[in-house]
Amino acid sequence: MSSAFFYSFLSVLRYTIESMRFMNKLGVLASLSLVGGAIGYGLFGPASLFAQVSGDGIPPRLSNIEIVSLNATTSVITWNTDEDADSEVNFGLTKDYGVIRDSIPNKKTHRLILEGLEPSTMYHLRIGSSDEGGNQALSGDYTITTKGVMSAKELEKIPVDERVIVDRAITSVRQLKSMEGLRAVSEEIDDVAKKVLEAPRIIGSPGVKEVGSDYAIVTWSTDQDAGGVVRYARDSDYRPGTDKAYSTESGDAGERTREHSVRVNGLSPGTLHHFQVVSDSDLGLTGESRDDTFITKAQLPSIMNFRIIKVEADSATVAWRTSIPAAGTVEYTNTKTKEAKSAGSPVFALSHQLKIAGLSLGLRYTAIVKAENIVGDKVTSAPISFTTIKDIAPPIISKVSNESTLFPSADAKVQTIVSWGTDEQAYCQFFYREGLNPAIEPSGLGEEKEPRTDHVSVVVEFLPSTVYQFWVECRDEARNKTKSENFVLFTPNKEKSIIDIILENFQGTFGWVKNIGK
């Protein structure tokens, strides 16, 4: 008789005897539970053992039982017997076991692989071995929970009663290969999420914590952890009622917090901006605020070269420049009486000059300038000091120029425009004489009625083709006088008529022509 036939015979015999076996209580095997993929061991000890007796009447002794979950769908069970025996594991989701068997009783070290298991699922199992005589030993009930597809750290985020469900769902989704299948699952998840979950809710109205000329900090709160994004646009770019109402967005959609703060950069100074805050949940549900607005600050001017131009007995002239067009106000204080006053100009300019009047002679003053941009934001300069003194310095005359024009007419008149400047407000008078002889009495125009720094005189008495000498005399309000140097100008030549030119030609050829008309 061959050994294969013998082993087959034993198997048939064992199944026959199995139906009539009796229970013999010999002890208890320690139970084992493996949760979340952790490895546990069943060690031999006092056991409750089912024993089927035949032959020598002694079933194999089971020991060193070890159960290992390899992955989500596979586990390995190993054990030892004290004599050659076959291998059998009964397993199932309940104590109504299924079976996996190696029916040849020729080994003392046993190893069976359970495949096709469900991930994250607890199985009951029982180990058995029979010797050649059909004597069978059965262990008590063991439990094992197969590994999941999620890590232990990921599982910690999920409620305990949902972990198995989530793990199985992920396993099932990973088996999908078609777009149709993935789409169906995605739509079902969206439907369930909308029924079970709510989008993040913006609590109250978003606030603009801080606004600069080119930035703003927007803050808001949500009722659940969510991302934080600010959509925004200049008023001229805002498109309400469209999918692109806002031209730009800034923030972190991936953050998870309930307190949000987003700094929006690159804004236009002094401009009205529309904005909306958006918070997305992990499932893509979106909470949005209503449209709101803020105005960025205008660019602040910088004050440069604030200085004293001139100090007089009862006044002082100051000047400064600004980096952008701005209005300016000078605030000045009498350091003795502490009386403070101000003077200014509403004109927006880059270059500024202002005369402070009504001061007292011989007193010390401090002054600051405040520059204001178009939306009313102000900056202040460092202070400067000065003491009023009697003005003994005359005006300084500069930039003297002239331009003459000949107007064709019977008497051929010349118009001459003379211009010049002074370094302070002054009254000036224009003087001239024909020729260069200083003995000739000069003529003059009337003195200017109002003091100024830019001066112009127009002369219409000059003759064509004539040399003239001219100068200007100026005085300031303290009656300090000054005179410019003497200047020389040549008036244009009178243009000749056609008849004059013909007569000159004939005169050159025929000398008698010059006597015509005499």
Residue ending a domain, among 254, 273, 295, is: 295
Q: How many separate domains does the chain show?
A: 4
> Mean pLDDT over residues 24-46, rounded?
30
Give yes or no for a contact between 434 and 467, defined as CB atoms under 8 angstroms apart.
yes
pLDDT cut 90: percent of the chain above it: 46
Q: How far apart are CA 209 and CA 145, in angstroms?
A: 53
Residue 105 forms part of a structural domain: yes
Sign of the alpha-carbon dihedral angle for 335, 337, 342, 343: negative
Same domain, 139 and 23: yes
Q: Looking at the chain, how many residues does it have?
A: 518
Structure confidence at residue 195 (pLDDT): 65
Q: Which of 142-151, 328-337, 396-405 is least confident? A: 142-151
pLDDT over 90 at 367, yes or no: yes
Same domain, 10 and 98: yes
Residue 96 belongs to what domain range? 3-145
Residue ending a domain, among 106, 122, 145, is: 145
With bands split at pLDDT 50, 70 and 90, how would you rate the model's confidence at 57? confident
pLDDT over 90 at 117, yes or no: no
Residue 221 forms part of a structural domain: yes
Same domain, 359 and 438: no
> Mean pLDDT over residues 369-392, rounded?
91
Q: Identify the residue whose tokens are 């040849």.
A: 104
pLDDT over 50 at 155, yes or no: yes
Same domain, 7 and 127: yes
With bands split at pLDDT 50, 70 and 90, how would you rate the model's confidence at 406? confident
Residue 173 forms part of a structural domain: no
Q: Which of 50-59, 79-88, 124-133 is least confident? A: 50-59
Beta-strand pair 286-288/248-265: unpaired
Same domain, 252 and 336: no
Structure confidence at residue 337 (pLDDT): 94
Structure confidence at residue 237 (pLDDT): 95
> Mean pLDDT over residues 387-392, rounded?
88
Same domain, 347 and 285: no
The partner residues of 199 in beta bridges, in order of sequence, read none
Structure confidence at residue 29 (pLDDT): 31
Most confident of the following: 156-170, 186-200, 384-398: 384-398
Structure confidence at residue 226 (pLDDT): 93
Q: How far apart are CA 302 and CA 232, in angstroms?
A: 29
Structure confidence at residue 105 (pLDDT): 86
Angle ∠(87,88,93) on CA atoms, nearest 5 = 150
> Mean pLDDT over residues 118-143, rounded?
86
Residue 207 forms part of a structural domain: yes
Structure confidence at residue 233 (pLDDT): 96
Higher pLDDT, 228 or 35: 228
With bands split at pLDDT 50, 70 and 90, how would you rate the model's confidence at 94? confident
Element (H, E) at 180: helix 179-196
With bands split at pLDDT 50, 70 and 90, how would you rate the model's confidence at 501? low
Structure confidence at residue 284 (pLDDT): 82
With bands split at pLDDT 50, 70 and 90, how would you rate the model's confidence at 175? confident
Question: Within its chain, how far is the Cα of 195 from the centroid?
Answer: 35
Same domain, 52 and 81: yes
Same domain, 333 and 373: yes
Mean pLDDT estimate for the chain: 82
Residue 181 forms part of a structural domain: no
Structure confidence at residue 133 (pLDDT): 85
Same domain, 139 and 14: yes
CATH code of the domain in which 358 resides: 2.60.40.10
Most confident of the following: 42-51, 153-162, 186-195, 390-399: 390-399
Structure confidence at residue 186 (pLDDT): 85
Same domain, 238 and 137: no
> Mean pLDDT over residues 58-86, rounded?
88
Residue 189 forms part of a structural domain: no
Same domain, 426 and 446: yes
Residue ending a domain, among 387, 412, 441, is: 387
Tens digit of pLDDT for each residue in 309-331? 888 888 999 999 999 999 999 99
> Mean pLDDT over residues 261-279, rounded?
94
With bands split at pLDDT 50, 70 and 90, how would you rate the model's confidence at 40? very low
Same domain, 229 and 310: no
Residue 58 forms part of a structural domain: yes
**C-alpha to C-alpha distances, 304 to 269, 301, 365, nearest whole angstrom:** 21, 9, 20
Residue 443 forms part of a structural domain: yes
